C-alpha cells in the first residue's frame, strides 16, 4: 500500500490477516512434522498420512500446501528460489554481461536471515544422514541449471543442442552452488555462503569467454546435384583460329 507524503511514496506493509497467519502456521507445522519423522524413521519409510497425522491435519490439507512428500523436504525456502531464478534472470538488463547477471541474481536469492539459514542447515544435516533424500536435492539443482541454460541461450541466440556455452555457464553455476552450500553447511553456517559461492563461480567460470562465441553453423545440406553448368567452370582448351584463304 502506498501513502503519499510530500510528493514521495512511502510504502507501508500490511500485517498478514488471521487467515494468512493460520495458513503459515499449518505449513510450518507440516514441515516440522515431516522433518522430525524423516529424521526418526527415514525418508522412504515416512508416509504422507503419517506426516498429516503428526501435524494434526487431514491428508487433503497436506496436499493443499505440498504436491508430494518430496516438496515438503526442502520447503518453500528452496523451491521458491528455483522459481524466482527464472523471473529474476529475465528481468536483468539486456546489455548486462551474462556472468554479471547470473552473479547478481544468485546474490538476490541468498537466504534471508538466521531463520531461513537454520532451515537449510537442518535439511542439509538430515540429507547427510538420510542419503535417499539426495535425489530431491539433485533435482532442484538441475532445475536451477536448466533455468540458466535457457537464460544464456535466449540472450545469446546459442542453441544448447549444438553449442556448449550455455551448458558450460549453467554447469559452472550449479557446481558453484552445490560446492558452496556443502562447505557452508559443514561449517554450521559460520562461513559466508555468498563469498563461498562467488569464489567457486569465479574459479569455475575463469576459462569461459566473457563474450560468447558465435553460434555453431548448421551442418551443410547435401541436396541433389545441380544439372546446370558450374558457376565457375574452368575454361576449355582454346583452338587456334584457322585463316581462310581468299
- Whole-number Cα distances in Å, 196 to 81, 99, 142, 144, 203: 18, 16, 20, 18, 11
Mean pLDDT of 83-91: 92
Q: Is the overall model pTM greater than 0.85, yes or no? A: no
Q: CB neighbours (10 Å) of residue 27?
A: 17
Regarding whether 88 and 105 lie in a shared domain, the answer is: yes
CATH number (domain holding residue 101) = 1.10.357.10
112 and 151 in a single domain? The answer is yes
What DSSP state is assigned to residue 232?
Answer: T
Residue 36 and residue 77 in one domain: no
Lowest mean pLDDT among 88-92, 130-134, 184-188: 130-134
Q: Give a yes or no: residue 218 inside a domain.
A: no
Instruction: Identify the pLDDT of residue 14.
Output: 58
What is the CATH number for 31?
A: 1.10.10.60
Distance CA 67, CA 65 (A): 7
- Asked if residue 102 and residue 43 are part of one domain, the reply reads no
Are residues 146 and 202 in contact, defined by beta-carbon separation less than 8 angstroms?
no
- Widest distance between CA atoms in the chain: 123
Question: In terms of domains, do 46 and 133 share one?
Answer: no
Instruction: Give the span between the Cα atoms of 150 and 90, in whole angstroms.
Output: 10
* Rounded CA separation 87/106 (Å): 12
Claim to verify: residue 52 and residue 145 sit in the same structural domain: no
Residue 225 has pLDDT above 70, yes or no: no
Residue 225 within any structural domain of the chain: no
Considering its fold, how many domains does the chain have in total? 2
How many CB atoms sit inside 10 A of residue 72's CB? 24
CA–CA–CA angle 99, 212, 81 (5° rounding): 35
**Residue numbers of the domain that contains 79:** 70-212
pLDDT in tens, 1-27: 444 444 444 444 456 688 888 888 898
- Assigned domain for 223 exists: no
Distances (CA, A) of 232 to 82, 102, 161, 229, 235: 57, 50, 36, 9, 9
Residues 86 and 204 in one domain: yes
SS3 percent helix, strand, coil of the chain, rounded to 5, is 60, 5, 35
Give domain status of residue 243, yes or no. Answer: no
For 192-215, write each residue's pLDDT tens digit. Answer: 999 999 999 999 999 888 777 777
Amino acid at each position: 500500500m502506498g501513502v503519499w507524503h510530500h510528493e514521495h511514496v512511502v510504502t507501508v506493509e500490511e500485517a498478514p490477516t488471521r487467515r494468512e497467519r493460520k495458513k503459515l502456521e499449518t505449513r510450518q507445522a507440516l514441515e516440522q512434522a515431516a522433518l522430525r519423522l524423516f529424521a526418526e524413521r527415514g525418508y522412504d519409510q515416512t508416509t504422507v498420512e503419517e506426516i498429516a497425522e503428526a501435524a494434526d491435519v487431514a491428508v487433503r490439507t497436506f496436499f493443499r500446501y505440498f504436491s508430494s512428500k518430496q516438496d515438503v523436504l526442502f520447503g518453500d525456502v528452496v523451491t521458491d528460489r528455483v522459481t524466482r531464478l527464472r523471473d529474476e534472470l529475465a528481468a536483468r538488463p539486456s546489455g548486462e554481461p551474462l556472468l554479471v547477471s547470473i552473479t547478481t541474481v544468485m546474490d538476490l536469492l541468498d537466504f534471508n536471515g538466521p531463520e531461513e539459514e537454520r532451515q537449510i542447515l537442518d535439511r542439509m544435516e538430515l540429507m547427510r544422514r538420510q542419503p535417499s533424500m539426495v535425489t530431491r536435492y539433485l533435482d532442484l539443482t538441475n532445475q536451477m541449471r536448466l533455468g540458466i541454460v535457457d537464460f544464456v541461450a535466449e540472450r545469446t541466440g546459442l542453441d544448447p543442442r549444438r553449442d556448449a556455452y550455455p551448458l558450460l555457464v549453467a554447469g559452472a553455476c550449479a557446481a558453484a552452488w552445490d560446492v558452496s552450500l556443502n562447505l557452508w553447511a559443514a561449517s554450521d553456517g559460520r562461513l559466508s555462503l555468498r563469498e563461498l559461492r562467488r569464489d567457486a563461480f569465479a574459479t569455475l567460470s575463469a576459462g569461459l569467454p566473457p563474450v560468447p562465441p558465435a553460434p555453431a553453423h548448421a551442418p551443410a545440406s547435401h541436396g541433389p546435384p545441380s544439372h546446370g553448368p558450374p558457376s565457375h567452370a574452368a575454361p576449355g582448351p582454346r583452338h587456334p583460329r584457322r585463316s581462310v584463304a581468299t
